[in-house]
Structure 1
Amino acid sequence: MKATLGGVVGFIIIGALLAWLVWQMGVRSQRPRKLPNLDAPDVSTEWGPVTFMSHGSKVEGWLLQPAAHAESKEGKLPIIVIAHGWGSNRTRVLRYAHSLYQAGFAVFMYDARSHGDSDSIHAPSALMFRDDVMVAVEVARHLPGIDAQRIAVLGHSLGGFGALLALESGMDVKAVVTDSMPVHFETMLKSELRRKKLPVFPLAYVIPMIWLIRSGISRAQFKAANIPLILEKYAGRAEAGLTPVLMVHSNGDEFISVKELRELKEQLPEGIIDTLFVSTSGHSTSEQEPAFWERVIPFLQEQVVNAVGKKEACGTRLQATRENI
């Protein structure tokens, strides 16, 4: 009898230790790298620091201005908000900046919470990236010299994931460009587990529950973070009142497989998203291929720089339609 009781107690202790170990792994996987930024961005244009608050935490950013001659006729600039990915920071997405400000865009980049020089929070998540990019867009809208009606977001990896989630939450931008973005949250989690040298099985099936508990995210909120469904509802032609979305991925990305975007393209009805597949190696190299900028800059010029004219033309057509009814 005593031996049986001792075995039960031992089993309970071992089970408790395993549960604690898995919980600690979940905590570790939810703690992104916090990489320091350069003291000043290595850019060939004017820049300045920008500090703002996101959900009670301080967020640090940079505003880069193009050359004065690139300003619009109205004296206000279109702006691109750049959202970095998990474990990254604004310095690491400076690789996008030069081509953008050379094309006449102001560029606003920031460290998401728990990244770079921004304040840390208890439990970062994909929804945190969504909330931070929404706040950053509103901050950009009120920056001096910026045209509040001509804003777009360029999001890398989980930054792009958060930007698309933000469309469902009401983020008002003229366009979204994603680069090397996971289509499913589970993909990012599995990739992060591999990077931290943690076993994918069974952690990839247990840790999401730990993340949800620590982040205070309900199961309903988690299920609603469905990129294909969000794109079907909110992405498309600006003339239809939707947000144009261009999704870029490299065939040589070994961290987030290009397979997901190819499957998404086949899954969605034609005309919902634009896609571009490049051939660089790595998760953060797409912009190194000339085809990236040959597609991204004209897309942003069409959707953002010409946004006011398109809006006015659309309004004129609607007014003419009403008068003919």
Structure 2
Amino acid sequence: MTVLLTVLAVLLLAALLLLAAFWGLSAKAQTPKRRPIERVPDMPYEDITFPSHGSTLKGWFVPSRTSTPDGAKQPVIIIAHGWNSNRSRVLRYARPLYDAGYALLLYDARSHGESDGIPAPSGMAFRDDLVSAVDYLTRRPDIDPERIGALGHSLGGFGTVAALWDEHRLRAVVTDSMPVRIETMIYSELSRLRLPKFPLAYIIPKIWLRRSRIDRNKAAEFDLIGAIKRRQGSVPVLHVHSRNDDYIPSAELDYLASHRLAGAEHLYVQAPGHSSSETDPQFWNRVLRFFNEHLCPVT
């Protein structure tokens, strides 16, 4: 009996140590790298802050170049960065949109850039921060609440589309290099961290949800196909992905396109890597045409 109890105690201790190791690796994979703000907009801008679920987000508001003192309301595009990024790293999208006549809002998601941190950021946190950005814009008297669009890169795109479950104020959405499935996010991050996919890819999602306090009902909102279906016909979406993306494979867009969702357009480009779709000549031709059709800027 004593031997049996000893064996059981050793097995229990080993199981606890293994669980602690998995928990630690999951926490590491769920902790984004804080990158410094490397540059500021090269057009007039305001430093802004706004609340999001008890935290303070920092960002920039760039007035439209066509704004006038008479208080005419401006169309605006929110630019949402991805995981391990910040608002300065998506300034690459700003100039063409600004030149096209749009006001812009760029911000740091929680636990990124200069915004407040939270214990367990997730795709749902990105979604909630995007909605908070929309809340902020609708309180500004210089913004037309009927002409709010969004451009989200990578997980910023995921959070923007996930917001469509409940968010009805967006009038046009563009995603760039967006992961569609949770498992793709997990595989990509494990590869980046050089951690083994087995068994972590099966364990980490459960630990992430627990650390983020996301219950089963909320986890269902990770279904981007369902979110787009919910708004199809009312919120047009353009999905862009590079065939040469080495972080989130373009198979994600293949998967999304295979569902043939009404109101969802698709564009494949040939830019190198995960963060340079905008360098492909097709990108701005299609993206600006899309936003102009649905947001009608005054140029």
Give the TM-score normalised by structure 2.
0.94
Q: Give the drift of 1:27.
A: 1.0
Q: 1:304 — aligned with what? A: 295
Question: For residues 73 and 257 of structure 1, do their structure 2 counterparts lie closer, same or farther at Cα, with a shift above 3 Å needed?
Answer: farther
User: Residue in 1 aligned with 2:130?
Assistant: 133
Separation in 2 of the partners of 1:154 and 1:30?
23
Q: CA RMSD in A?
A: 1.9
Q: 1:246 aligns with which of 224, 238, 263?
A: 238
Q: Which has the higher contact order (CA 8 A, sep 6+)?
A: 2
- One-letter amino acid matched to 2:63: Q
Q: Specify the SS of the correspondent of 2:258.
A: helix
Deviation readout 1:272-305 (Å, 9 max, x if unpaired): 3011100011111100111100000011011011
Given that 2:175 and 2:238 are in contact with CA atoms closer than 8 Å, whether structure 1 keeps it comes out as: yes
Aligned AA (1:28): K
Q: Does 1:9 align with 2:15?
A: no
CA distance in 2, matches of 1:37, 1:187: 28
Counterparts in 2 of 1:88 and 1:74: CA distance versus 1, 3 Å:
same
The residue matched to 1:199 in structure 2 has which SS?
coil
Query: If you compute each CA radius of gyration, which structure gives the higher value, 1 or 2?
Result: 1
Q: Offset at 1:100?
A: 0.5
Question: Alignment partner of 1:177: what SS?
Answer: strand
| Structure 1 unaligned regions, length at least 5 | 237-241, 308-325
Compare 122-131 and 7-16 and name the one that shifted more: 7-16
In structure 2, the residue matched to 1:197 is: 194
1:182 to 179, 182, 199: 179
**Using the alignment, how far apart are the partners of 2:172 and 2:69 within structure 1?**
19
1:186-214 CA-to-partner distances (Å, cap 9, x unmatched) read 21122111111221111111111111111
Contact 2:101 2:297 in 1 (8 A): no
SS for the counterpart of 2:112 is coil
Structure-2 residue corresponding to 1:50: 48
Cα gap change, 1:144/1:74 in structure 2, threshold over 3 Å: closer, same or farther?
Answer: closer
Query: SS at 2:93's partner residue?
Result: helix
Match of residue 212 from structure 2:
215
8 A Cα contact 1:154 1:160, kept in partner:
yes
Offset at 1:36? Answer: 1.4
Shift of 1:163: 0.8
Which residue of 273, 276, 279 corresponds with 1:285? 276
Which structure dedicates a bigger proportion of its chain to helix? Answer: 1
Q: Kindly indicate whether the alpha-carbon contact (under 8 Å) linking 1:232 and 1:272 is maintained by their aligned counterparts in 2.
A: no
Distance (Å, rounded) in 2 between the aligned partners of 1:63 and 1:88 = 18
Partner of 1:274: 265
Tell me the amino acid that sits aligned with residue 58 of structure 2: E
> Per the alignment, do residues 157 and 71 of structure 1 end up closer, same or farther by CA in structure 2, a change over 3 Å counting?
farther
Structure 1 CA distance, aligned partners of 2:15 and 2:293? 59
**CA–CA separation in structure 1 for the residues paired with 2:111 and 2:177:** 21
Match of 1:255? 247
Q: CA deviation at 1:65?
A: 2.5
Deviation at 1:72, TM superposition (A): 11
Listed as ranges, the matches of 1:71-110 within 5 Å are 75-110=72-107
Q: 1:171 to 1:185 in 2, by over 3 A?
A: farther
2:159 corresponds to which residue? 162
The one-letter code of the counterpart of 2:290 is: F
Q: Does the 8 Å contact 1:173/1:243 carry over to 2?
A: yes
Normalized against structure 1, the TM-score is what?
0.87
| Contact persistence 1:82–1:108 (CA under 8 A) | yes
Structure 2 partner of 1:62:
60
Cα distance between partner residues in 2 of 1:108 and 1:156: 14
Structure 2: state its 5+ residue gaps.
none
Q: Would the aligned equivalents of 1:61 and 1:110 in 2 still touch at CA under 8 Å?
A: yes
